[in-house]
Structure 1
Amino acid sequence: MTRVGRGQSAGIQSAGIQPVDSARPLSLPDLNADLGLGGAVAEGSAERFLNRDGTFNVRRQHIGLQGVNLYGELLTVSWGRFFVLLALAYMGLNATFAAAYDVLGSSALSQMPPPGLGRFLACFFFSVQTFGTIGFGHIYPRSVAADWVVTAEAFVGLLGVALATGILFARFSRPSHRVLFSESAVIAPYQGAQALMFRVMNGHRTQLIDLSAEVTFSHFENVMVEGLPGTSAELRRIRRFYPLSLERSRVTFFPTSWTIVHPILPESPLWGQSGELLEADDAELLVVLRATDDASQQSIHARSSYKASEMVWNARFRPIHSKDNAGHLRVDVARLSHIERVATGESAAP
């Protein structure tokens, strides 16, 4: 008997995935609903696929130097590391040209101290002046070889400034977001049934519009899988992925917060589940948000996930909105993740 889940056949069919026939073992193509994570990852990984900050827990090895995208790395690295790398490149280039002036000997520049650290520092600071087109004038090249080195450094300086300026502009102009996710998802009574809820908020002062949400439920199941021709089916523990239908999957405006709700009806893959079952099946909730930044009119994407241990049962979110004395609506970001317990049968709607 193939395990499909607890009351989830109708929900799978409505989401565009064919329900599993319990009388028929699954073939490998039937298991190809893994969101692009790959069958090996879906079957073998016991850690979360998505970290809370949206990064993936998949590491690619032996990719080689051809896999290095310097431009992409400089765009996505943190601002602190970006300026450190920029400073190291600047110092390295000047040190290289300083070594070239030093090798040319005492006749290369108009003022050359005796050999040693003093000479190298004099060459280094002359390189800095040349690289930045400062030109104090008290030191200048005195040989043809030195003139050629100055010419090469001036050319490299032009390219370096252009590249650094372009990358800096690209970093400032690329769309960024600070979509905040509640620390926990809650499962509680809702409109006569139960519902899974979590809350999101825009953490930037700029506005987001046309926000849409896509939520996928993932857990391990014991499934009968067809083997090679001539062999019998075998029972395997495989991770499956099910899109969750949402009460509202899209909002046009996003000035406050949004509580994303999945009603747990008989067709839901969460129907009949419990915290213990979700823990045992290593359940994970994968969330993808897409929106348009109103200031730049560019698309932004935000990702996060909730493990079974981050899903709180019989709880609801506390109110996050209030009004001041003038009647203006206020949203308290600090209360984004505040929850409270609810009794069975009590509505969890905030």
Structure 2
Amino acid sequence: MSASGAEPPARPAAPDLNADLGLGGAVAQSSGERFLNRDGSFNVERRQVGLQGINVYGELLTVGWGRFFVLMAAAYLGLNAVFAAAYDVMGPSALSAMPGHGLARFLACFFFSVQTFGTIGFGHVYPASLAANLMVTVEAFVGLLGVALATGLLFARFSRPTHRLRFSERAVIAPYQDGQALMFRVTNAHRTQLVDLSAEVTFSHFEQASEPGGRTRRFYPLALERHRVTFFPTSWTIVHALVPGSPLWGQTPQSLAAGEAELLVVLRATDDASHGQIHARTSYRADELRWNARFRPMHRTDEAGHLWVDLSRLSDTEPVPAPAADRPGQ
């Protein structure tokens, strides 16, 4: 207690040097852009990595389905075009019952390649020279490898654990017990179930450094009301109480904006269907916090008494009265 009888303001917890989530000093001290986009992607590019940065397998696993099938079709048509050109170069005597020259011959060679590549073999065209037979042998081998690779990629894409964890568009500063708390919601938009869901929330902002006019970014892990849930059938409101000692204690919308504050969120869970580990990331900046508001209920009950969750209300909020200390004249 001070001499006036009032308690001195509580000091926030010391920053955790390991709480920057691996962003690194250069990224941490940058300003102007958020660390994490709302979809969990990073605002950092890697340039001049050279050919060693190419990961065809990784790209084919993570690219969208539409682009994946376009790339597979392009590879398939490209390989057949290469073999068709090889048959065409061998001359009219390489394959039986073929046009002598021009586009018609190339197309006939192309469709023969398609039949060979897919081991279809209609039989009306066959290799008539040693060179053509050797080329058919090579193409059959390449076709076997191509089918095996395409099958493996499809299986890997289907078996790869994915998620549709949806975060509320905004976080709120809402009433909580006798004070306030930071809250945001998350729900599972997949029909599969998630278990052992854990959350990690880090508060980051610029603080004044010791040198005049200098600023340094600090990271503070936030203590959550509950950092882990075993079952996740509906939704989860993640809560950090604003109490003395919290890095958010005494903060205002203006101070958070001036410090370029950002809340970094990392969620981990196990997919009950595939038993694979999934990860989800997002962040909230100062302008994505809604003060003196609370989330509207998402849960409904039908006429038969069954509970259901309205995912369209994930981000719905409503205003609440500001705490007495924040009201004019109090």
Same fold, TM-score > 0.5, yes or no? yes
Q: What letter corresponds to residue 195 of structure 2 in structure 1?
A: I
* Residues 10, 245 of structure 2: 8 Å contact kept: yes
CA distance in 2, matches of 1:37, 1:235: 24
* Residues 12, 249 of structure 2: 8 Å contact kept: no
Question: Which aligned pairs between 1:142-157 and structure 2 lie closer than 5 A?
Answer: 142-157=128-143
CA distance in 2, matches of 1:193, 1:327: 34
Counterpart of 2:292? 314
Given the alignment, which residue of 77, 102, 105 partners 1:116? Answer: 102
Counterpart of 1:329? 307
Counterpart of 1:198? 184
CA distance in 1, matches of 2:312, 2:297: 11
Q: What letter corresponds to residue 202 of structure 1 in structure 2?
A: N
User: In the alignment, does 2:136 pair up with 1:158?
Assistant: no
* Residues 246, 261 of structure 1: 8 Å contact kept: yes
Question: Which aligned pairs between 1:176-187 and structure 2 lie closer than 5 A?
Answer: 176-187=162-173
User: In the alignment, does 2:238 pair up with 1:252?
Assistant: no
Question: Which aligned pairs between 1:204-283 and structure 2 lie closer than 5 A?
Answer: 204-224=190-210, 236-283=214-261
User: In the alignment, does 2:281 pair up with 1:295?
Assistant: no
State the shift of 1:33 in Å. 5.0
Bigger drift between 156-165 and 32-41 goes to 32-41
Of all paired residues, the percent bearing the same amino acid is 72
State the shift of 1:266 in Å. 1.2
Q: Deviations over 1:299-319 (max 9, x none)?
A: 111111111111100110001
**Paired residue secondary structure (1:157):** helix
Q: What letter corresponds to residue 14 of structure 2 in structure 1?
A: I
Bigger drift between 196-205 and 291-300 goes to 291-300
User: In the alignment, does 2:40 pair up with 1:36?
Assistant: no
CA distance in 2, matches of 1:343, 1:337: 19
Q: CA RMSD in A?
A: 1.7
* Residues 264, 282 of structure 2: 8 Å contact kept: yes
Q: What letter corresponds to residue 295 of structure 2 in structure 1?
A: F
State the shift of 1:289 in Å. 0.5
Counterpart of 1:24? none
Alpha-carbon distance change, 8 to 154 in structure 1, aligned in 2, over 3 angstroms = farther
Question: Which aligned pairs between 1:94-133 and structure 2 lie closer than 5 A?
Answer: 94-133=80-119
State the shift of 1:45 in Å. 3.5
Q: What letter corresponds to residue 226 of structure 2 in structure 1?
A: R
Counterpart of 1:343? 321
State the shift of 1:213 in Å. 0.4
- The TM-score, its normalising length taken from structure 1, stands at 0.87
CA distance in 1, matches of 2:75, 2:112: 17
CA distance in 2, matches of 1:286, 1:38: 14
Gaps of 5+ in 2: 1-8, 325-330
CA distance in 1, matches of 2:18, 2:121: 65
**Paired residue secondary structure (1:211):** strand
Q: Deviations over 1:215-255 (max 9, x none)?
A: 0011111212xxxxxxxx66521221110000111111100
Number of residues of Structure 1 aligned to a counterpart in Structure 2? 317
* Residues 182, 239 of structure 2: 8 Å contact kept: yes
Where does structure 1 differ by over 3 angstroms across 4 or more consecutive aligned residues? 7-10
User: In the alignment, does 2:70 pair up with 1:88?
Assistant: no
CA distance in 1, matches of 2:264, 2:222: 10
Bigger drift between 43-52 and 132-141 goes to 43-52
* Residues 192, 345 of structure 1: 8 Å contact kept: no
CA distance in 2, matches of 1:235, 1:38: 22
Counterpart of 2:62? 76
State the shift of 1:258 in Å. 0.4
**Paired residue secondary structure (1:217):** strand
CA distance in 2, matches of 1:223, 1:320: 44
State the shift of 1:62 in Å. 0.4
Counterpart of 2:14? 12
CA distance in 2, matches of 1:342, 1:188: 8
- The TM-score, its normalising length taken from structure 2, stands at 0.93
